[in-house]
Amino acid sequence: NPPYSDKKWNQREETPLKVNDPRFADLGVLPPDTRGDFAYLMHGLYHLGDKGTMAIVLPHGVLFRGSSEGDIRKYLLKENYIDAIIGLPSNLFTNTSIPVVVVILKKNRDVLDPVQIIDASNNFLKSGKQSILQEKDIAKIVDTYVEKLAIKGYSYLASRDEIVANDYNMNIARYVEPIDNMVTQDV
């Protein structure tokens, strides 16, 4: 859980990092200086074993922001590292009110495996200003992920071609359509 959109991620080094840093060399770009989300993701991915799996909590913006972040998403998809994206509710953490996503990366994915997209942002208990994931909410996320389930209004298995057709935009709402539970009233 790195600092969200760290605006000084590259200023903390004695010498600012360059594109030839081994963590970014394959990308050919650095994450923007104003948002270090992908810097932390790429650092973790670089240190991940050949058959490793990692999860990282990031702001939703990593799913759709453009420029070098779009290039990084394109690289991650091309290299088949993105296994799942799990959207969580806002106010889940005490240090921020923004909704966040868990990005699960794997280095040993089958090239035909879809990217699983889970929208768990509506499954929580409200306690004051905080959102709380109950045991049943966590179990649903885990079961859906482990079983690779596609559940209408909750999860979707997106092919690489679909994501490419969406210009590498992985915004959850593009793939998981919410179920309308509004009762139509005849006035």
The side-by-side arrangement of strands in the sheet containing 115-119 is: 53-59, 100-106, 82-87, 115-119, 155-158
Q: How far apart are CA 111 and CA 94, in angstroms?
A: 38
Q: How far apart are CA 22 and CA 185, in angstroms?
A: 60
- For residue range 142-165, list pLDDT tens digits in order: 999 999 999 999 999 999 999 999
Q: pLDDT averaged over the chain?
A: 86
- For residue range 40-85, list pLDDT tens digits in order: 898 899 999 999 999 999 999 899 988 888 999 999 999 999 999 9
What's the whole-model pTM score? 0.86
Where residue 5 falls among pLDDT bands split at 50, 70, 90? low
Instruction: Enumerate residues 6+ apart whose C-beta is below 8 A from 170.
Output: 63, 64, 73, 82, 85, 115, 117, 158, 163
Measured in residues, the chain has a length of 187
